[in-house]
Structure 1
């Protein structure tokens, strides 16, 4: 395999403003420099007086040349969401998607990864953590490309098309009288099943049809050369060049999150119902006792209300500053956290986020938990209706104006028994908890573990192989 070029979707809009500090050449051989604007017009891209179906711009001379994109949104739908001016190496391509323009960066995978490990965390993190992250970021992306190429080669029948990503062997109900009006912001990134009083939905990568990955947390954070890359980050990429995680002759789907909360979750509890033997539930610790069975409510309750030892159970500011960028450090609590809502706040929030009027909220009842104690199915009981929702990200989105840190939480109620006046959620971890725990891996790096040992801990049974 040669080092591949990849395509990264950066932003979409009716118009896109960009700039070339030095000369770039368009796909129709027009030289450009300085500020530019492209506008969606009559189903085409309007730029410099002409209409295009698509257009690309490449640097004329220098490999170090970059272009700038204005108003790039980072942290989409998260509590740190904001817009930035960002810089990117490589080629800029503009296409049309859903009556908008989409800006795509075409870049070599190794240059992409140098940015990813500087965007996902601080580039001043330990070398072993950066090397581990380089391997899993490369693995995750090549796994997605491998999967898509495999799907494209398979003939698909009409019946297979209907049942793709069908959760839990349930029939996909599409009749209006069976479907609650759940809001589906970013619905193109989701798969969902509605069956009578259940709404089970997950969000994954498969919706990107015109580029390999997006640039935000939905895939992997990629912010071009906006975040400074240190010599250590560059060394991490160079020293692991072409290395990926493998399991039984396939590149691993190497998921990761900020903080597992002391226990790793399994893949099928967050996304489609496929078990990956290297994405298993286990304790984020090398010396402590085995993980309790957190699928049992009493065990999950005790685990979440206490602070068990784990690699990611740290308040070390030096380590956290290596892992968390400035906007991530706006969140101080991640290993254990609390959120409280009044009755009015919770009922209005759930209505606003789901589009369903539950009336007053009587109860939130965990129906099923995963190996980390994360709730997979949650029953919302209201005075007007009852509904079971899932999976973990849908629960997090429904119970927060942005996202709850995780779905590993327990519920306390205050006030009247019939209709509580206050709900308190006590939770564990930050993110889905599958695969590598970034804060835990940072602690391992500081404690002297090599990157292959870090990867072996979070992806048991996997091996490292060099692909190019």
Structure 2
């Protein structure tokens, strides 16, 4: 197998402003400097002409282009716009009444940026090597899945809706004109803006072509920031299937048994305490290695609390679901996954009742952006004369979906001297590491 080229969707807008920082070839012309395109008459207007698509191919080694007003952290609490610099080819295509900017580049160059963008690049080399393998595995698994889906109409639906339930999950099947997007929906990719650390380049080079495999298939190697002490099953967060290598494991080195966190009483005990785990760390040096500056705005990720007044919670649910539940009487976990993450939550209001899921839909419903995770227990304040709780408090565990590698736990393992093989096989039981190219 040869190293593949990757197409990454960066930005989608009516107008895109960019600068070619070297000589590029487009429509038979050599161009450089500031450029602007706009959506017009169903096409891309550039230099007074309209095109269906435009490709800017670099003519020099180390050529780059700058894209302005790139939104990162879409719908998350750290959302902001940045100017970002990219190497490789820039392709502009029309998509749903806007222009999409796509970066085409070799897989290994993409990975250097992803690992730098996903976390601070000062982490231990073994953790960076582990992340290079899982990021490469996830990427190639998504490309294989996209190719398979393009050949067959799978009848894929990512939601189930009835009069009493709304169950929805969010995955990568919606990308049809490029392999992956550049934001947290896939893997953070911020071009060479972030790819400046020698250690990351060394980690990618040391693991070149290596992927996780299970039964001759590339592993769909999911990962999240902090599992909260126990990792989660795929089916809790996405479609109703599971993978043997994405089992639920205790994030510790002493082979402690995973408590039955599908049981409400056990989940409550677990979430209200702070058991020892790799990812249970307050070591600012380790945390600063993993988390970029805007991620460090998030604290208390292993265990956390969120407090809402009645009006705040009812308003959030009404705004996020576009349904008026009236006053909120209760939030009742109906189904929990192996890590204690709620996959089905019953919202009881004075005007409406509904079971919602899966975990990301719950996190979006109960927050302005996203709750850290859906592993939480609920406490209610005193009742007013009408029997309405005055407030709700959520006590929770972990940050993210919890499936696969726990980034903070893996970083701690790297600091404790574990090598990248040991880190990977801790989180992906039964998988093995193979070199594809």
Same structural fold, with TM-score higher than 0.5 when normalized by the shorter chain: yes
Residue of structure 2 in register with 1:3 after alignment: 3
Q: State the alpha-carbon separation in 2 of the partners of residues 237 and 23 from structure 1.
A: 28
After TM superposition, list the pairs within 5 Å mapping 1:276-425 onto structure 2. 276-287=243-254, 289-416=256-383, 418-425=387-394
CA-atom RMSD, angstroms? 0.9
SS at match of 1:353: helix
Q: State the alpha-carbon separation in 2 of the partners of residues 336 and 289 from structure 1.
A: 20
Question: Quick check: 1:288–1:309 contact (8 Å CA) kept in 2?
Answer: no
Picking from 396, 408, 423, the partner of 1:427 is 396
**1:48 positional shift:** 0.7
Q: What do residues 358-395 of structure 1 show as CA deviations (whole Å, max 9, x unaligned)?
A: 00000000000000000000000000010000000000
Residue of structure 2 in register with 1:97 after alignment: 95
Q: State the alpha-carbon separation in 1 of the partners of residues 40 and 82 from structure 2.
A: 25
Q: State the alpha-carbon separation in 1 of the partners of residues 77 and 252 from structure 2.
A: 29
**1:419 positional shift:** 1.0
Picking from 179, 195, 210, the partner of 1:243 is 210
Picking from 82, 85, 92, the partner of 1:84 is 82
Residue of structure 2 in register with 1:52 after alignment: 51
Question: Quick check: 2:20–2:64 contact (8 Å CA) kept in 1?
Answer: yes
Residue of structure 2 in register with 1:437 after alignment: 406
Alpha-carbon spacing, 1:2–1:228, altered in 2? closer, same or farther (3 Å): closer
SS at match of 2:334: strand
**1:31 positional shift:** 1.7
Q: What do residues 58-99 of structure 1 show as CA deviations (whole Å, max 9, x unaligned)?
A: 11122x111000000000000000000000000000001110
**1:274 positional shift:** 1.0
**1:153 positional shift:** 3.5
Picking from 106, 109, 115, the partner of 1:108 is 106
Q: State the alpha-carbon separation in 1 of the partners of residues 95 and 390 from structure 2.
A: 46
Q: What do residues 276-295 of structure 1 show as CA deviations (whole Å, max 9, x unaligned)?
A: 00001111011162111000
Q: What do residues 406-427 of structure 1 show as CA deviations (whole Å, max 9, x unaligned)?
A: 0000000002072100000000
Residue of structure 2 in register with 1:263 after alignment: 230
SS at match of 1:11: strand
SS at match of 1:106: strand
Q: TM-score with structure 1 length normalisation?
A: 0.92
After TM superposition, list the pairs within 5 Å mapping 1:176-255 onto structure 2. 191-255=158-222
Question: Quick check: 2:141–2:218 contact (8 Å CA) kept in 1?
Answer: yes
Q: State the alpha-carbon separation in 2 of the partners of residues 276 and 66 from structure 1.
A: 39
**1:21 positional shift:** 1.8
Residue of structure 1 in register with 2:138 after alignment: 140
Question: Quick check: 1:256–1:437 contact (8 Å CA) kept in 2?
Answer: yes
SS at match of 1:129: helix
Q: What do residues 407-448 of structure 1 show as CA deviations (whole Å, max 9, x unaligned)?
A: 000000002072100000000000000000000000000000
User: Structure 1 unaligned runs (5+)?
Assistant: 166-190
Q: TM-score with structure 2 length normalisation?
A: 0.98
**1:30 positional shift:** 1.7
Q: State the alpha-carbon separation in 2 of the partners of residues 77 and 415 from structure 1.
A: 33
